[in-house]
Structure 1
Amino acid sequence: MPSNTGGSELRGRLRERDTLDRLLRDVRHGRSRVLVLRGEPGAGKTALLDYLSERAGACLVTRTAGVEPESEIAYSALQQLCAPLMGQLPRLPEPQRAALATAFGVEPGGPPEGLLIGLAVLGLFAEAAAQQPLVCVVDDVQWIDRMSEVILTFVARRLDAESVALVFASRSPGDERMLSDLPELRVDGLPDADARALLDSALTGPVDARVRDRIVAETRGNPLALLELPRGLTPAELAFGFGAPSTTPLANRVEEGFGRRIAALPAQTVRVLLTAAVEPVGDVTLLWRALERLGIEPDAITPAQAAGLVEVGTRVRFRHPLVRSAAWRSAGAEELREVHRALAEVTDPRRDPDRHAWHRAHAAVGPDEQVAGELERSADRAMARGGRSAAAAFLQRATELAADPRRRAALALAAAQARFAAGAPAQVPDLLAAAELCPLDLLQQARVQRLRAQVEFVLNPGRDACAPLLTAAARLETLDGAAAQETYLSALGAAVHAGRLGDDELRRAAEAARAVPAGQDAVGLLLTGLVGWSLDGYPASVPLLRQALGALGTDEDLNLLWLTGPVAYEVWEDATWHRLTEAAVRSSREAGSLSLLPTALAFRAGALVFAGQFADASDLLDEADALGRATRLAGHPSASLMLAAYRGQELPALELFEATVKDADARGEGRLLGLAGYARAALFNGLGRYPAALEAARQAAEYEDIAVFNWTLGELVEAAARDGASAVATRARDRLAERTAVAGTDWALGAQALADALAGPPGRAEAQYRESIERLSATSMRLPLARARLLYGEWLRRESRRGDARTQLRSAHDAFRTMGAEGFAQRAGRELAATGETVRKRNPAACDDLTSQEAQIARLAVAGRTNPEIGAEMFLSPRTVEWHLRKVFMKLGIGSRRELAGALRAR
């Protein structure tokens, strides 16, 4: 039976072994499985991974482990895991193949985006598993590099039908960063009987039974502790358990135990272990060459092998990571530098320039410009592969070695920018502080200030973010006009999102930005438009904002979506809104842009809600949620709020609204308060609870949040008119007219006609209802159109025109029911019943047997997408798409794609 901790048989663990056996059965039968083994150091996670590998049988097993010294080398763990699979690389689509080859340094190319690499790894796993079931094992996740962690977590959430097992082992509690919601197997201590048997195997003499019980209790059955802590202790020490009571964490005590065992070895053997610990790859040839440089004979490793601390085969493998860390910490600074120097000398700078530079950097005693230059070049290579975190690590070490203070300042600033780009804003302030200890020119000072403000905006995007951005923008005005303009736009955007909680930040930001000449590019025009919107009022700003939207043309402009999306709403440009969000999703998917895609998915989902495509919107939000868990990049909550409101399920909707309000208050994001108020008003209007809708809309309309205010006025008119508050309805209608008249689009004028019908002269109501329906029919706004038909039908019924009312109400009811707008559907159903018509109950079998994912795949297949295209859009492997399509065919009772469109229509 496989080893538990490097020498004993695997004891007990029936539950754990059964779980792993079932996992292997699923994989052999064509299903993918993901599992996280979680437990404290020494609990036996690695032994269980060994068991899994040995039981894999005919499966292909590929394995990697995080190593603390490697944690800053981009893709190091991922590359080791994928190395046996690279023969499948030519089978991937060209963009994915090129991205992975670039990330691994096999081919030159532009920096690949993380999502594209994730799709490539997913495809690589699927292609390999098509030949042979695949088991991928990742040990010590807490030490793998950041990019490997992001990619593997992404892949773990997209595996489905590829015959792949992806099994992680992570310390707990709190060491893992991104695996928290994946299937988990807790690896705790052994049961008492097994623990006592394991302890007995490690004891060299008799121990009192009560002392033995205390040792078992104190170690909580941790196998490594049971084996290691008794070693090196005298009978007298054992007689009292582990000596005097200790508050030291168990892992530290085990490492101390390994340290004592290492200290008892010959000096040359200790040096061998140190060299093996510092050389993280486990390259045996490299280790022997380094030992030769250090004047150490290879057989010096024999005592460490005999002690069971290290194994040497095709690779060097420590019994446990705590042995590596104990060997590392046992050395003094000078000894560590000597080992790094030897490893640098035997590492080929042409084949492995980054590790060569890394070892040289740690061998340096003081400033060394040559090594700093090597590290800077390594940072460039890491950045070219998309490894921003690794680039930051190289630059940070280069900063420490640079002799020239000005160069040190530039490197520290570059490291800070790399940390920020890598999604680690919390690590930026210390680097900026290091830069400020050096002489900075005016432009560098301004960039430091700008980056500090950007960090503040990311960490706290509410009311406190605007002022630092404004200060930074002011400093950049005479130094870098383009950077100043972009920073003013960020400041203005921050103030827009702070909204009612912004303490007049919007006016101050706009006044400051107006003093700066703005360019005619998208950034400049958008800045001009938002300044006009803030200071000159809505009518004056609409032409400027439309000009800015018209200037958007490049993929780079799509990064402005967080502002241009709300602007398109604000000027009632539904066609532009759809075009922008569709382009943003398409572009970010094609490029694999981790930074843009969450926002793009959320904003596209919002557009689809208004278009009445709730299922598609929900699919995108599910995708954004999965992406957010994998990358910790959350999309904007606006679409989730709207979808919850219009689905009409009161309790979950209100829970979401309350959570959003609480979060918005804490972060100072006033626009979210407006959004939550609008959503609450829409929910209650749908449910026919008009007093509650009126109160919610009144509160939301107290501040003119961009885009949200337009929608809120419509809800306020309807709620007030239905609740008998005619004066409130009239005022809201008039305020809406000030905006819709200048906007002039069919969407705007259709919304205004509906408000006029509700709150205007009764004699003109029918003509205005008809105008609203006609204008909204010319747009993609199917949800507002259905609401207009509902209100017209309600009016017709009250006019005792039951036949005409049925026509409008039936159309509205069918539309709401098809969308999934249950609250409005029930309201329309009640009105229909009042006309004397029997309302058909919804057929629960109509397509409900297709899951959301299956339905989306079916729709894409009907649209003519191939399996690889569907997979790229949904972040699935083509083989998983094929598997889901087979399930769809079976559920629909068809045999091919040719029948799919008809079968979906029939349902």
Structure 2
Amino acid sequence: MGTLSTRTPLLNRHRERAELDGLLGDVRSGRGRALMLRGPAGVGKSALLRHAVGRAADMRVVRTVGAESEMELAFAGLHLLLAPLLDRIEKLPGPQRDALAVAFGLREGDAPDRFMIGLAVLTLLAEAAEERALLCVIDDAQWLDQSSAQVLAFVARRLLAEPVGLIFAAREPGRQFHGLADLEVRGLARQDAQALLRSVVRFPLDERIRDRILAETDGNPLALLELPRGLSPAQLAGGFGLVEAQAVPARVEEGFRQRLAALPSETRTFMLVAAAEPTGDPVLIRRAAGRLGVPGSAVEPAEADGLLEIGAWLRFRHPLVRSAVYSAASGAERRAAHGALAEATDPASDPERRAWHRAHAALESDESVAGELERLAGRAQVRGGIAAAAAFLRRATELTPDPARRGARALAAAQVAFDAGAPDMALELLVSAEMSPLTDLQSGRVAWLRAQIVFARKRGGEALRPLLEAADRLARVDVGQAREAYIDAMGSAVFAGRLGEPGLLRTVAEAARTAPAGPPPARPADALLDGLVARFAEGIGQGAPPLKRVLRTFRQEARRNPDDNMRWLWLTYLVAADMWDDVTLHDLAEYAVQAAREMGALHFLPQALTYRAAVHIYAGQFDAAATLIEESDAILKVTGNSYFGFAVTLLRAWRGGADAPAQLEAAADLASTWGEGRAISQCLYMSALVHNAFGRYQDALDYAERACGHDDLGATGFALVELVEAAAYSKAPEAATAALRRLEERTTAGGTDWALGVLARSKALLSDGQAADLLYREAIERLQRSRAAVYLARTHLVYGEWLRRENRRLDAREHLRTAYEMLQSFGATAFAHRAQRELLVTGETVRKHTAGTPAGGLTPQEGQIAHLARTGLSNPEIGARLFISPRTVEYHLSKVFTKLAITSRQQLAEALPDLGHDRA
């Protein structure tokens, strides 16, 4: 039985090879693609990767392998993959170049976001592929560090017009890779498995033993090749050497351990050093082994046995070999290996890796190592590796001898872990912090962070009491942090909504009123808390003036100081909606998106895009909204952060598809499972909107009354508009009058043209004669001065319906035609059909055209790219704005030109005078 050659032919695998060959063909033709090979260890994924590399002789190939020991070292896998291409880094646009250089520790700088790093990697790969097609091969992707995995998943989803291929292999892909095209690699068919077994067992084998081996290995090629090793023909023939049935990877790993045991001790030590240093740098590994008294020649028996090979890089024959080597060593042997690697690693060029090895070499508490980890955690975070910073601080906590300092580090580690999206680790570290002596401030921060974790997991009321308790504790030691905790508590009560206790918001507001005044100078957050307290403790009449001042402050500061806008947008947006302040809604969302893009704030950008999409919806720019929603979803798939569904449901409601009611019901049911009562109210209000669009006014009335059963910030006012219309058309005067009184209180407090426009419209619905006519005209005049185009269109609709009932057919046609054209152009299908039906009754012939599709049938992304090109931006500038490559921009523009029958950018202004992106 000889060793396995890396050129062992693939048995069968016709399906897998055809898929890989198809990917390579697409890449050669200039179309980027990504593919995930998934399957258990040893099933043949690595062999398929070798097949792909062998078939890509005409391409440039770069590759990397995930390493379990490096999962917490930020960008380790990405750095190894891109190392051959880094000579091109200076060709990248400045922000991208700086982000990538800081991430890889090539220069100092402010913390880059992974989204900007992702764009830099995409540009770098596209640049490298200009000379010849590029293939990137990533094995053991399940062991990539989180930062590398997120960036590579981001790039994989944005390949389109670049001759770049990404092939991943993983036992079980992480959540970052969900949604990528994947191919399950299964065990060999019985005939092929039997042929492979015969290739390594060249003597007669008892048929029952053969069948047992085939059954237990389940066609796993590596298991078939490795299982017989070390067993004599007698053992195999009688089956005495076969272990009882167990998982294939464990059994294969045990086979590797037996082979390791037969090697000289110096060889095993050399292999242990190599297993502990996954970069595969042979110079570093030999230097570290030498510090343990092991000569470089000690590797030769392992090479001869086919367990590893050394070229430009040291590679193990299979990842399970590395695992077997490391797990077979004792704790003392591992610490010695890491200690030697720490001594051999250059502290100037790679201080983080050196500190990481020192941490693994430490046997007991060591302040020197803990302090170094703490210092380098900051460096890791600056480089964008928040998960690495959390790991460094957690290990620093474990190695800290002083209890007080250990508690402080545990708290810091918990905060970073929470920011990194690891709430379970954060909770574990908070337990560690609580076991240490803490100051009152630290205790308050522990309580606050624990409550924030609860709120992040369920945006309902479960976090409310812990947030109030934390705020109360912080009030004794840090007023500023206490006031912010009270704002979080107010937000928790707002999101709990109807699922909270009766009078909950007032109770929380009264508790927050006890917070001491903030230290001078007053911050926008302090004014926000005071305004919310007045709103919910004293009513909208008392709360409106201070909240309007707060909104003015945030709007004025949003461009100059984006941090406050980004920190509190989740609440200030709701306040602006409650005040019907369309100007502030637009500005806060617009500046938030701009800041998030400029800063590369990947963690915040989806939220900002969602709110900006909602502003587009109110302005009737449904396609622009859909583009931003798609972008938000794409980012969330990369980061794995919580989903923002508000804009999606709002868009569905306004579009009015036949399945919208069922989708809204499902969304409400989902919201109830995580305790977010406000989201339930939103779904009820949107359901009322949909039923009004379809003309099912009794159903609309039912949903609207349920929606208005609770005072929800930024939602109840919209529901009251639907309630007045539904009640008016359902001949329910008492319900209509009561709803109008509530709506008047809110809109008068807001005082904007949007607010007073919907008030005049609602009054007109309940009026007759000249009074109604004047109110409709006032509503139209006011709404024309606002950004709320959808409400303007609906006002033309109800005015036209009233005029028809008054037998003023010519006047009715004018307004119904305007409503129909506006609603149809928006894509508000159900409302447009309602206007169309009314027009037909007046005798009007309705001109048909496709709803909600930009001129030329452009997709939302094509429309957005065309808009940016029309403003004069270059392909690289458009790519940087939309986080796609210049070649993808060029690809989309070529389709735009074809659809619009034009040949140059100069013709875009005439071909598309208004794409819906310039308004608002």
TM-score (norm 2): 0.96
- The code of the aligned residue for 1:796 comes to L
Matches for 1:848-867 after TM superposition, within 5 Å: 849-867=857-875
Q: Give structure 1 stretches of 5+ with no counterpart.
A: none
Question: In 2, Cα distance between the equivalents of 1:543 and 1:635?
Answer: 33
Q: For 2:845, what is the secondary structure of its paired residue?
A: coil
2:409 aligned partner: 411
1:123 aligned partner: 123
Q: Give the Å deviation of 1:635.
A: 4.7
Which stretch of the first structure deviates more once superposed, 339-348 or 761-770?
A: 761-770
2:528 aligned partner: 526
- The code of the aligned residue for 1:102 comes to V
Mapped pair 1:676 → 2:678:
no
Mapped pair 1:98 → 2:98:
yes
Are the aligned partners of 2:854 and 2:863 in contact in 1 as well (CA < 8 Å)? no
Q: For 2:176, what is the secondary structure of its paired residue?
A: coil
Q: Give the Å deviation of 1:672.
A: 0.2
Q: Give the Å deviation of 1:375.
A: 1.2
Which stretch of the first structure deviates more once superposed, 76-85 or 229-238?
A: 229-238
Give the paired residue count. Answer: 902
- The code of the aligned residue for 1:664 comes to A
Match of 1:203 among 201, 204, 215: 201
- The code of the aligned residue for 1:531 comes to V
1:541 aligned partner: 543
2:153 aligned partner: 153
2:918 aligned partner: none
Question: In 2, Cα distance between the equivalents of 1:229 and 1:247?
Answer: 12
- The code of the aligned residue for 2:911 comes to A
Q: Deviations over 1:380-412 (max 9, x none)?
A: 210111111111111111111111111111111
Q: For 1:188, what is the secondary structure of its paired residue?
A: coil
Q: For 1:650, what is the secondary structure of its paired residue?
A: coil
Are the aligned partners of 2:603 and 2:639 in contact in 1 as well (CA < 8 Å)? no
- The code of the aligned residue for 1:522 comes to P
Are the aligned partners of 1:687 and 1:824 in contact in 2 as well (CA < 8 Å)? yes
- The code of the aligned residue for 2:514 comes to A
Mapped pair 1:386 → 2:384:
yes
Are the aligned partners of 2:112 and 2:383 in contact in 1 as well (CA < 8 Å)? yes
Q: Give the Å deviation of 1:4.
A: 8.3
Distance 1:208 1:350, change over 3 A: same
Q: Deviations over 1:850-904 (max 9, x none)?
A: 2222122112222333222221222111121012101211222111001122223
Which stretch of the first structure deviates more once superposed, 348-357 or 94-103?
A: 348-357
Q: Deviations over 1:101-150 (max 9, x none)?
A: 11111111111112111111111111111222111111111111111111
How big is the alpha-carbon RMSD for the aligned residues of Structure 1 and Structure 2?
A: 1.8
Q: Deviations over 1:424-458 (max 9, x none)?
A: 11211111111122111111111111111111111
Question: In 1, Cα distance between the equivalents of 2:614 and 2:425?
Answer: 34
Mapped pair 1:580 → 2:578:
no
Matches for 1:263-412 after TM superposition, within 5 Å: 263-412=261-410
Q: Give the Å deviation of 1:243.
A: 5.9
Are the aligned partners of 2:458 and 2:676 in contact in 1 as well (CA < 8 Å)? no
Distance 1:770 1:4, change over 3 A: farther
- The code of the aligned residue for 1:645 comes to A
Question: In 2, Cα distance between the equivalents of 1:620 and 1:650?
Answer: 23
Q: Percent identity?
A: 51
2:513 aligned partner: 514
- The code of the aligned residue for 1:139 comes to D
1:771 aligned partner: 778
1:633 aligned partner: 641
Are the aligned partners of 2:690 and 2:700 in contact in 1 as well (CA < 8 Å)? yes
Are the aligned partners of 1:33 and 1:164 in contact in 2 as well (CA < 8 Å)? yes
Question: In 2, Cα distance between the equivalents of 1:384 and 1:707?
Answer: 37
Are the aligned partners of 2:236 and 2:242 in contact in 1 as well (CA < 8 Å)? no
Matches for 1:202-281 after TM superposition, within 5 Å: 202-239=200-237, 246-281=244-279
TM-score (norm 1): 0.97
Match of 2:760 among 750, 753, 766: 753
Question: In 2, Cα distance between the equivalents of 1:119 and 1:518?
Answer: 44
1:654 aligned partner: 661
Q: For 2:177, what is the secondary structure of its paired residue?
A: coil
Distance 1:846 1:819, change over 3 A: closer
Q: Give the Å deviation of 1:290.
A: 1.8
- The code of the aligned residue for 1:823 comes to A
- The code of the aligned residue for 1:644 comes to R
Distance 1:285 1:479, change over 3 A: same
Q: Give structure 2 stretches of 5+ with no counterpart.
A: 916-920
Q: Give the Å deviation of 1:234.
A: 4.0
1:902 aligned partner: 910
Matches for 1:696-845 after TM superposition, within 5 Å: 696-843=703-850
Question: In 2, Cα distance between the equivalents of 1:13 and 1:368?
Answer: 53
Q: Give the Å deviation of 1:5.
A: 7.4
Q: Give the Å deviation of 1:359.
A: 1.4
Which stretch of the first structure deviates more once superposed, 892-901 or 226-235?
A: 226-235
Matches for 1:31-180 after TM superposition, within 5 Å: 31-172=31-172, 175-180=173-178
Q: Deviations over 1:270-290 (max 9, x none)?
A: 222211111111111112122
Q: For 2:409, what is the secondary structure of its paired residue?
A: helix
Q: Give the Å deviation of 1:242.
A: 8.2
Which stretch of the first structure deviates more once superposed, 46-55 or 818-827?
A: 46-55
Distance 1:666 1:483, change over 3 A: same
Distance 1:109 1:822, change over 3 A: same
- The code of the aligned residue for 2:23 comes to L
Question: In 2, Cα distance between the equivalents of 1:240 and 1:5?
Answer: 28
Distance 1:429 1:450, change over 3 A: same
Q: Deviations over 1:809-844 (max 9, x none)?
A: 000000011000000000000000000011112258
Q: Deviations over 1:157-190 (max 9, x none)?
A: 1121111111111113xx5221121011111111
Q: Give the Å deviation of 1:293.
A: 1.5
- The code of the aligned residue for 1:427 comes to M
Are the aligned partners of 1:598 and 1:634 in contact in 2 as well (CA < 8 Å)? no
Q: For 1:258, what is the secondary structure of its paired residue?
A: helix
- The code of the aligned residue for 1:685 comes to N
Q: For 1:131, what is the secondary structure of its paired residue?
A: coil
Q: Deviations over 1:200-222 (max 9, x none)?
A: 11214221234323322321211
Question: In 2, Cα distance between the equivalents of 1:633 and 1:351?
Answer: 33
Are the aligned partners of 2:856 and 2:899 in contact in 1 as well (CA < 8 Å)? no
